[in-house]
A and B are shown apart, each in its own frame.
Chain A
Amino acid sequence: MERMDLEALNNELLDAVLEKGSLSFVVNRLHQALNKGVLICDCLGRILIGSNSEIEYDIDAYIAKAIDHSEAYYYDQEICQLFFPIGWGKLIAIIIVREVKEEEIENILPVLETANLSLCFYFSKYNAIREVENKYKDLFIQDLLFNNILENEEILAKSKLWGWDFKKEYFVAVIEPDNFINIKTFAEELEYITKKLAKENDIEIITSVRSGTFIVISREKNNQKERVKEMIVEKISRANKYFSEKYDTTFSIGVGHTYLAYKEIYKSYQEAKTALAIARLIGETKFVKYFGTLGIFKLLYKQEAYLLKEYYYETLHKLIEFDKNNNGELLPTLDALISNNMDIKLTAEALFIHVNTLRYRIRKIEEILRIDLSKLENVVNLFVALKIKALLKLHYSDID
């Protein structure tokens, strides 16, 4: 393209971005100018314009290569695609040009460089608007979740501004990363996933961020009156695989009961956080915990530590002593047996021992504790004692 043409293209793109705020116009215009397929994705590798179906490879890997590449662009011969980073100093977005031959790169680069300025403007404007919107949305959500709005009418009026119907029943799920991850990236990824989920399933999902956690507020039933609460949580939880591959971290979810949003949604939030904290306390990771299914732990965490310690030793001290004196493995065996729902075959596999060895150990446990492990009451007592162990570890250094 001639210099005059490039200038005209630059003006055209700037006009489109500043006046119409249209990213699709930029892509169409680049497509016309280059006569090639053009995609734009953000710095996290999410395609903003173009479709995912056009990508038949792991885009993240190529974007990582493009970012690491010291040149102004990255060309991959294998897939014949050109990756052109947008932004000065800081990566804002990436233009992907498809079906590019190596000898064409020289002609393509001036056009992409021309688009750089307009795209920088577009993303600066887009990010600034989103930041302000999120700030006000987060403040409203946080006021709601801490019961900091006194009048119900005020909640309903404000929720209408955002297009939410808080006269209906909603629940809150709190998502917390299991390992360290930049919360901004974590939230952006989850926001994208939840938005997609909401669109695919025709449900309303409201999101917010607070204290290193990502908050999801959604309806229990969708517009077709189908129960979708568990489905939403399950689908969000599936993103764990993506997070562990991309960021080497996982996350856990605590879910509260469903309440009328304008009256008691704050309770659901507190319940979700409690569910999350209790499950963390007993050493779980990568879990989904519903407040309604916490069971015995709802009672346990409120007990005085010395009472729990007393119960733990009363129930298991003979076994602990035996293991200590004989270098035994009975307590871990019991733990594994209960974790595997008293299934002998599964437990033996988990412990890498023969079934008969396990049977022998079970007989030994019964003998030492003078109990019958076929009785539910005895199993429950042992189960509670073993769970208490996790709680006690926080208080006493002699528990291991």
Chain B
Amino acid sequence: MGYGFLFNIDACIGCQACAAACAKKNDFFLGFRRVQKYELKYRGKNVVFYYSNSCNHCENPECLRRCPERLYFKRRDGIVIHKMGECRACLTCLKACPYQAPKFNHQIGKVSKCNLCVDETGDPLQPKCVKACPTFALQLVHEDYYQPMAQYYHLPIDTIGKSHITQPSIKIIIPPELQKNGEN
């Protein structure tokens, strides 16, 4: 596989710095990352947590399979790229992606998505969202293999529930109060 994200639910304070950094990098009108607040009752306790989500650069990207124009590709380092220039905005990928990662840019009439900031110069790869996170809740990792997300299915995060097919390149650290069967 390759690059992916590591997200620590406990460390995220919901400051939206990652989303703002992404939006800034993409000229303020097209941020690919969003932070959502979840409130739920889990094992008799009220739990509040935040989850930051963008393209997960999946092992089985639905956008890649469904795009009729063949504009998506997955690089050897695992990053899924969309060739925006040739996009005719059929929006098939928007509907196909369970994480709502591709976004429609109304100003240019094309779809675009997170590319892990590979267009930024500099070495090593440092996505803006990861750089902006003040609590290091969001980190970039490089793994050979990302575990299937079955261990996170009990969390009421919509996008996680649909991850069994696409196998996103993301690892989540779950706080003790949200752990399944009392273990990680």
Contacts and interface: CB of A to CB of B under 8 A. Distances in A.
Contact of B75 (A148, A211, A273): A148
Nearest to A281: B164
B37 interface: no
Contacts of B104: none
Question: Which range holds the interface residue count of chain A?
Answer: 20 to 34
Given A148-B75, A395-B154, A397-B154, A271 B65 contact: yes
B116 to A, nearest CB: 15
B76 A211 contact: no
Contacts of B165: 274, 277-278, 281, 301
Contacts of A277: 60, 164-165, 167
Contact of B162 (A211, A278, A302, A397): A302
B161 interface: yes
B164 A147 contact: no
A139 B76 contact: yes
A147 B64 contact: yes
Interface in B107-133: none
Interface in A130-149: 139, 142-143, 146-148
Contacts of A395: 153-154, 161
Nearest to A139: B76
Contacts of A146: 64, 73-75
A270 interface: yes
B27 interface: no
Contacts of A301: 162, 164-165
Contacts, number: 62
B contact face: mostly helix, strand, loop, or mixed: loop
B1 interface: yes
Nearest to A301: B165
Nearest to B98: A302
Contact of A147 (B74, B154, B158): B74
A148 B73 contact: yes
A146 B153 CA distance: 27
B145 interface: yes
A267 B67 CA distance: 10
B1 A211 contact: yes
Nearest to A280: B164
A305 interface: yes
A212 B162 contact: no
Given A146-B74, A148-B76, A266 B64 contact: yes
26 contacts: A143-B76, A146-B64, A146-B73, A146-B74, A146-B75, A147-B73, A147-B74, A148-B75, A148-B76, A150-B73, A211-B59, A212-B145, A264-B70, A270-B62, A271-B65, A274-B60, A274-B65, A274-B165, A277-B164, A277-B167, A302-B162, A304-B158, A304-B161, A394-B153, A394-B164, A396-B154
Interface of B: 1, 59-62, 64-65, 70, 72-76, 98, 145, 150, 153-154, 158, 161-162, 164-165, 167
Given A266-B64, A271-B65, A302-B98, 17 more contacts: A142-B76, A146-B75, A147-B64, A147-B73, A148-B73, A148-B75, A266-B65, A270-B62, A273-B59, A274-B65, A277-B164, A280-B164, A281-B165, A301-B162, A304-B161, A305-B161, A394-B150
